[in-house]
Amino acid sequence: MNPTPEPAAAAASAAAATEPAPAPMPLPPPGPTAEEAAKFVADSEARLAAMNVDAQRASWVQSTYITDDTQVIAAKENEKLINAGVEMAKEAAKFDHLQLPYDMRRKLDLIKLALTSPGPSDPALTAEMARIGSELEATYGAGKYCPPGKTGDDCWDIGEIENLMRSSHDPQKLLEAWRGWHTVSPPMRDKYTRFVQLMNQGARELGYADVGVMWRSKYDMKPEAFAAEIDRLWNQVKPLYDSLHCYVRWNLTKKYGESVVPPGQPIPAHLLGNIWAQEWGNIYDVVAPPKANRGYDLTQILQKRKDIDELEMVRFGERFFMSLGFAPLPKTFWSRSLFVKPRDRDVVCHASAWDVDDVEDLRLKMCIEKNADDFTTVHHELGHNFYQRAYNTQPFLYKDSANDGFHEAVGDTIALSVTPAYLKTVKLIDTEPPASADIPLLLRDALDKIAFLPFGVLMDKWRWKVFSGEVTPANYNAAWWELRKQYQGIAPAGARGEELFDPGAKYHIAANVPYARYFLARILQFQFHRALCQIAGYQGPLNRCSIYGNKEAGARLEKMLAMGKSRPWPEALEALTGQKQMDATAIVDYFRPLLDWLDQQNQGKTCGW
């Protein structure tokens, strides 16, 4: 039986019974809807498309007319694009919880990951970051080395230094040129440190631990899975590199002596014919097999031919793509591109392909010289241009390659078809060399293609460590050379202290261009080449295959290119090759005759470092 309530309690209870019920709590506002997501994507895509054209035009002028004014203009346009990208990326994240159609979800993800240099939400900090980025690239582009007692026109720009390193085998001259170019980068050191701080702040605001995690998130897989994929592919090709390194080193020891190139030690970086020791083709004559005969020297052929100038070298590349069924380049390509270094101004000579209006305003920026390397580079850069045009009917956010390695690989795939048979067809040589010339030809190719592989890995390995804080400004240089020793087995001649900034002597560090794409491109180009040769019905050694003139191979290539970034890259890869995983066995197939030969040559020699 319940006890009788006290009078006061009873009164309170009665009063409570007569009071109205409390008003219900207001419902939280509804979250973003699919309709809002669709409108956001449409508006953002249109806005980005328009802003991108403005930024491209400003960047083109800044790269081809380096002045204080053009740097400011380019920085301002880049700042606008970065600010808009940051704003849109944060807005896109609001729709993460929604179940959306494939295209909408993919475009939202692309908006979030579009920035290479993510800026902070504070406009002043983003402006600072954009200004530093422009200054770093301009410092590189205008970089010169003035030998003692030289000034003005007597100073060496990067082209002159590259030519010296390409042609000279005097170790003292090479060392002076190598050290000379590396004097352009120390002024970048503090700016780069600040640049990293600002980018990392922007990346964290977008939900990424650092810029490296953000970069690795752009490959249709988890960032840690992409890092593992790079390691997997590197381990597939490392035995090829180790064999080539061994062969090259003992030949350099034979030429320069053990005091200059000690057996069992890393190779001095200045002796490999390239400022960055990333490709070694320029020392072919030092390491060539005795009495080797490649049958022809393309550099000599180009230089002797008076009917072939820098423009005609580009025409060769265009005609190759046309032979596969692609339409010729637009007339504006020839009137708006930069093919030769101007005499009256500084330009960024680093070769690049441009799609200024995302439709037909295709351009090439390159200080072409008549040599075999630039003949190959022209094919590579036109690969970008033909890829850009193939996907120009896609929505703006899909106007890109399946992943950035694809873009780099396409032109190189075409260059693999620049075989002796092709050179004979286009009347650059009269006679196709016999099969006995394959080893010298493959060795020359390997000095570029295989030698590049570890450099392609370590560039971003260094930056990933910088972005994560594992490498700090206090050991930028030490960490750089530690990775170069680990992966490449090379070292500088003499100490390189922390007052220097040797990573900045490479364009892609100064310009903040991710580099894993170039490693992937070296793998993918052989995978593409093997597949296209099979489509063309070719039977024989893979290194002798050229798809020049094969419309069926061209149609299959066009099919993949036209997909742009509309599907995850494994689907684009499958459209061309029938495989969904990147596969380095194609590079082994291509160089198999050479690798067997190298293993024989290296018997009894000291290998490793």
Residues designated as active site: 350-351, 380-381, 384, 408, 508, 518
Distance set, CA 95 to CA 17, 89, 158, 218, 285 (Å) = 46, 11, 47, 18, 59
The overall longest dimension of the chain from CA atoms, in Å, is 120
Beta-bridge partners for 156? 145
The secondary structure of residue 475, as a DSSP letter, is G
Question: C-alpha angle with apex 131: 125 to 133, nearest 5 degrees?
Answer: 105
Three-state secondary structure call for residue 362: strand
What token pair was written down for 120?
């902070």
The secondary structure of residue 144, as a DSSP letter, is E
Residue at 561: amino acid letter: L
The secondary structure of residue 217, as a DSSP letter, is T
User: What's the gap between Cα 136 and its chain centre?
Assistant: 18
Residues 6+ apart with CB under 8 A from 225: none
CA distance 169 to 238: 28
For tokens 């008549």, what's the residue?
A: 370
Residues 6+ apart with CB under 8 A from 10: none
The CB-based long-range contact list for 125-129 (8 Å cut-off, 24+ gap) reads 125/198, 125/201, 126/79, 126/82, 126/83, 126/86, 126/198, 126/202, 127/79, 128/194, 128/198, 129/82, 129/195, 129/198, 129/199, 129/202
**258-285 as b/e, with b when 16 or more CB fall inside 10 Å?**
eeebeeebbbbbbbbbbbbbbbbbbbbe
Q: Where are the alpha helices (DSSP H) in 185-297?
A: 189-205, 211-216, 223-256, 284-287
